[in-house]
Amino acid sequence: MSLSVEEEAALAIQPERDAYIAIYGESAVAEYDEVLDYLRDLEQERQEKAIQLPGYSLPQLPDTDVYERLLDAERNLASPRLLVEDYTAGVATYDDELLVIEGLAQVLFTTEHATGHMRLDAHSGLLISKEADYGTAAIGKILQQDTGQSLITPVGRQTSDANSASEHPIKDVMKTFIARDTAKMHISLHGAKRGRVANLTDDRGFDVFIGVGDNPTEETKDAADKLAKIAKNYGLIGGINQFFVTKEEGQPQYNEDGTLRRISFSAANPGTTRSFAQTEAERLGKPLITIQVELSDALRILPVDYDFHPGIDSQRRGTNLAYFFLQESISALNQKK
Ligand SMILES: [Zn+2]
């Protein structure tokens, strides 16, 4: 079955079975349940597609040791045993320890959520511990090595959240980088759950979210377009400042007025490292591309005991795709127009 526009609209506005029946009458009970079954099946199919990455198959990619290198880097920087619990302490020997690698090239990668961290909850005023964006330390490190760019990554024991707190040691280091004449670009690498969709009936979720904030500069907009195009060439589903349906335990969330709740990974909040880089560049009166890239968990190294680990074949395919997508993006952005 597929949903009519009206049915989809009814579901988007009224999540409750009773409300649906109120619109369509008692005879619609069976139909409503069928719609729910349809949406559940679709979610399962999307989860499968997210890890199979159907736009590309591994034999088409060059035979590489990228996956093995990523595993090594992740162990060395974020999680020695590749276990979920190791991401809190990481490999740090003191609180808020960072690894800073200064490259000769024009791009600064930051992977501020590479290990577990604490975030101040705006509602409760309490510090809550947040899960790491698994695999981002590894991809940042390998890209740094292979392209000669700069990298700042936490290595564990993080007492706050660099992508939310107004002041953070990462931001101090970023300032120095941005002030350099050679600095052209800041790319903040993050993670998102796989299978996120803009509409309940989309047949594939997003692989890559590109965030440029609310008032991107022309060079940032151009760069984001390039990234989106390269993602597409690799068969990845990408979106710029893309909104998506929020879910909790697999269930779509609704606003108080009954409309489907959607948010976006636009990296517009002033606390993000992306916003910080943009503000700092504006203060110095210099052009700087500032982008946040969120990779689906199908594209990142995941802990071996992670509940949603998709298996080694999928991990190898996904992480290779992410690597080639980002490597080509850096190379395209470094070329003069
Ligand atoms: Zn993150």
Q: What is the pLDDT of residues 227-263, one digit of tens each?
A: 999 999 888 999 999 999 998 877 788 888 778 899 9
What is the model's pLDDT at position 221? 98
CA of 133 to the centre of ligand 1 (A): 5
Instruction: Answer yes or no: do 29 and 178 share one domain.
Output: no
What is the model's pLDDT at position 3? 64
CA of 197 to the centre of ligand 1 (A): 18
CATH number at residue 106: 3.40.630.100
Q: What is the pLDDT of residues 83-110, one digit of tens each?
A: 999 999 999 999 999 999 999 889 999 9
Distance CA 285, CA 148 (A): 26
Residues with Cβ < 8 Å from 90, sequence gap 6 or more? Answer: 77, 78, 79, 114, 115, 116, 154, 155, 156, 157
CA of 10 to the centre of ligand 1 (A): 33
Instruction: Answer yes or no: do 142 and 171 share one domain.
Output: yes
Instruction: Answer yes or no: do 239 and 275 share one domain.
Output: yes
Task: Give the domain range for residue 298.
Answer: 55-334
What is the average pLDDT score of the chain?
90
CA of 309 to the centre of ligand 1 (A): 18
CA of 113 to the centre of ligand 1 (A): 5
Q: Which two tokens stand for residue 229?
A: 């195009």
CA of 99 to the centre of ligand 1 (A): 17
Instruction: Answer yes or no: do 47 and 106 share one domain.
Output: no
CA of 1 to the centre of ligand 1 (A): 37
CA of 300 to the centre of ligand 1 (A): 13
The angle formed by the CA atoms of residues 247, 205 and 315, to the nearest 5 degrees, is 105
Instruction: Answer yes or no: do 18 and 82 share one domain.
Output: no
Find the mean pLDDT for residues 156-181: 95
Instruction: Answer yes or no: do 108 and 32 share one domain.
Output: no
Instruction: Answer yes or no: do 86 and 10 share one domain.
Output: no
Instruction: Answer yes or no: do 80 and 165 share one domain.
Output: yes
CA of 139 to the centre of ligand 1 (A): 14
pTM: 0.89
Find the mean pLDDT for residues 163-186: 95
Instruction: Answer yes or no: do 39 and 109 share one domain.
Output: no
- Collect residues with CB below 5 Å from ion ligand 1: 113, 133, 190
Residue 314 DSSP symbol: H
Instruction: Answer yes or no: do 117 and 255 share one domain.
Output: yes
Instruction: Answer yes or no: do 184 and 313 share one domain.
Output: yes
Find the mean pLDDT for residues 65-70: 96
Residue 24 confidence class, pLDDT cut points 50, 70, 90: confident
What is the model's pLDDT at position 121? 87
Q: What is the pLDDT of residues 142-154, one digit of tens each?
A: 999 999 999 999 9
CA of 8 to the centre of ligand 1 (A): 31
Q: How many domains does the chain contain in total?
A: 2
188-208: b (≥16 Cβ within 10 Å) or e: bbbbbebbbbeebebeebbbb
Instruction: Answer yes or no: do 195 and 312 share one domain.
Output: yes
Judge whether residue 133 has pLDDT over 70: yes
What is the model's pLDDT at position 14? 46
CA of 202 to the centre of ligand 1 (A): 24
Distance CA 86, CA 64 (A): 27
Residue 85 burial (CB count, 10 A): 11
Find the mean pLDDT for residues 326-334: 93
